[in-house]
Amino acid sequence: MIVDPITLEVLRNALEAVAQEMGAVLKLTAFSPNIKERMDASTAIFDARAQLVAQAEHVPVHLGAMMRAMPAILARSGPLDPGDVIVVNDPFVGGAHLPDITLVAPVHVRGDVDDRLVGYLACRAHHSDVGGMEPGSMPGRSTEVFQEGLIIPPVRLVRAGTEQADVMALILANVRTPEERRGDLNAQLASLRVGARRLAELAGRYGADALVAGFDAILDYSERRMRRRLAELPPGTYVAEDCLDDDGTSDEPVPIRLSVTVTPERLVLDFSGTASQRAGNVNAVAPMAQSAAFFAVKVLTDPTLPPNAGVLRAIEIRIPEGSVLDAQAPAAVCAGNTETTQRVCDTVLRAFAQVAPDRIPAASQGTMNLIGIGGRDPRTGRSYTYIETICGGQGGRPRGPGMDAVQVNMTNTLNTPVESLEIAYPLRVERYELRGEPGGCGRHPGGRGVVRALRVLDHEARVSLQTDRRRHAPYGLHGGEDGKPGLNRLVDRDGTVRILPGKGSYSVGADEVVIVETPCGGGWGAP
């Protein structure tokens, strides 16, 4: 069936609207501030061959990874019947870290003879706790995935429309905040139900055949646009290198190396020479690294490209097996999402700055500055787990300065409002302000980071930090100066200030203050 251009555009926008509505339902019905306030979650629509067709503009690190992981999830789960919902968080199948729990549901529409599978819906949300050695399930120093929480292979949480109580009970028995987890899982299920209803309505309006043909036409359209953009780029091979400060178990930097080959027909990103898998938790599974590369490719080519599987048909990503970008089980991987994807993005953009100097910004903060705090709330006597990624400075841009205090590159979450944070957790926000230091100097200077100071009111809490760019500053471009590294501190009750490493977990008592100063972006162009 041939889809005319007008129908193609109507369907494309309708599908993106469905994904956005799924995200809105998730945010409005979730229990945890991490999803309700920060929207650390993503939604997407796939065709019957598990190809990404449409997604909401939520968290880039989720969406690119789901695109690569969906075939593996469905291969492990087997055929899904109407009313089934798969739950999975296994990094080596689902392509994320353990707190990112993904729910997948098939969409069947009524046909002439029987129900027909037209595609799948997926909803991925970062849960504030899935067990493991530290509250929040994001330990600063873990050395195997088993320390990071409960591992869920692809299993049916819902079968033929009936929730599997034993599966739900197993999950809730292994987390510190079971009521909150149940509420967030129910919100994800609600998101899938709304998406299924909307797809059924589209099939009823246009017909199932036209909807499926529209899926294919959307992917072909995105491929054509990507190939046109590649043809505009100067052919050649471009190399770049960057590094993570460390892996949390030693001070040794973790290099990311890249060679980019541009031809009119194809873009090849080869990460040969990148560091091998490390003992610490900065290891990323391959879909994570591919997700970061996909984001950077959109920055290079055309940010308005529909983000789907068609875009990737002209792109080849080569990742050495067993490297820090293709970790093998049972490697620790929780910081692979938060830190390593950011550095992959920085490295790819550094190479692309040679391809298209007038499009690529200097390095932004290059870290998610993740902080997790958990313990027992003295107000209620119940366990709590707070998790947050903290904004920082954007790199100076070709056409203007970098923005202050924004989430950059691989994360697109909001902050937890001070009022919401203090109501939900035994924490008090002492400071939340722009850093005094400017970003890297340049014709277009980098943006400033922030200072976030949290006073712990719990008698004995555990604090985990996963941060980077504490030793190696965000780079400047084209003569611009490097940005300012971040800094972590702990102020004891007696006023003693301790400098904390970028990655680690600590016991903190009542009235002690954890301070995170986030990096400032690099400058663009000579000052």
For residue 209, what are its two tokens?
Answer: 């055949």
Could you say which DSSP state residue 394 is in? P
Tell me the pLDDT tens digit for each residue of 27-74: 999 999 999 999 999 999 999 999 999 998 777 777 678 888 899 999
For residue 480, what are its two tokens?
Answer: 């611009």
Residues making up the chain, counted from first to last: 527
Q: Considering Cα of 350, then 351, then 352, then 358, what sign does the dihedral take?
A: positive
CB atoms within 10 A of CB 204: 12
Spell out the residues 6+ positions from residue 384 whose beta carbon is closer than 8 angstroms to its own. Answer: 135, 177, 374, 375, 376, 377, 424, 425, 426
Look at residues 425, 437, 447 and name the one whose alpha carbon lies nearest to residue 375.
425
C-alpha to C-alpha distance for 21 and 392, rounded to whole angstroms: 29
Cα–Cα distance list, 217 to 2, 11, 14, 105, 222 (Å): 8, 10, 14, 23, 9
pLDDT band, residue 497 (cuts 50/70/90): very high
- Which residues, listed in sequence order, are joined to residue 513 by a DSSP beta bridge? 455, 491
pLDDT band, residue 112 (cuts 50/70/90): low
For 458, counting Cβ atoms within 10 Å of its Cβ (0-12 exposed, 13-18 middle, 19+ buried), the class is buried
* Predicted TM-score (pTM) of this structure: 0.96
C-alpha to C-alpha distance for 168 and 165, rounded to whole angstroms: 5
Average pLDDT over every residue of 430-436? 96
Cα–Cα distance list, 343 to 28, 43, 143, 245, 258 (Å): 32, 24, 20, 10, 11
Given a cut of 60, whether residue 6 has pLDDT beyond it is yes
Helix (H/G/I), strand (E/B), else coil: 118: strand
Could you say which DSSP state residue 278 is in? -
Given a cut of 70, whether residue 163 has pLDDT beyond it is yes
Residue 460 pLDDT: 92
pLDDT band, residue 341 (cuts 50/70/90): very high
Residue 360 pLDDT: 97
Look at residues 328, 343, 308, 119 and name the one whose alpha carbon lies nearest to residue 222.
308
Residue 411 pLDDT: 86
Could you say which DSSP state residue 330 is in? T
For residue 503, what are its two tokens?
Answer: 């990655």
- Residue 55 sits at the vertex; the CA angle it makes with 394 and 63, to the nearest 5 degrees, is 55
Q: Map 513-524 to HEC letters.
A: EEEEECCCCCCE
Buried b (16+ CB within 10 A) or exposed e, 286-321: bbbbbbbbbbbbbbbbbeebbbbbbbbbbbebebbe
Spell out the residues 6+ positions from residue 350 whose beta carbon is closer than 8 angstroms to its own. Answer: 240, 241, 242, 363, 475, 477
For 380, counting Cβ atoms within 10 Å of its Cβ (0-12 exposed, 13-18 middle, 19+ buried), the class is exposed
Residue 513 pLDDT: 98
Average pLDDT, the chain: 95
Residue 511 pLDDT: 96
Tell me the pLDDT tens digit for each residue of 224-261: 999 999 999 999 999 999 999 999 999 999 999 999 99
Alpha helices in 362-446 (DSSP H): 418-424
For residue 131, what are its two tokens?
Answer: 């067990």
From edge to edge, which strands make up the β-sheet containing 427-434? 427-434, 450-456, 513-517, 487-491, 497-500
**Conformation bin of residue 352: beta by default, left when phi > 0, alpha when psi is -120 to 50:** alpha
Look at residues 453, 451, 405 and name the one whose alpha carbon lies nearest to residue 427.
453
For residue 78, what are its two tokens?
Answer: 């087997």
Q: What percent of the chain has pLDDT over 70?
A: 99
* Residue given tokens 């055949």 in the structure block: 209
Could you say which DSSP state residue 337 is in? I
Given a cut of 70, whether residue 113 has pLDDT beyond it is no
Least confident of 30-44, 101-115, 208-222: 101-115
Tell me the pLDDT tens digit for each residue of 379-399: 999 999 999 999 999 999 999
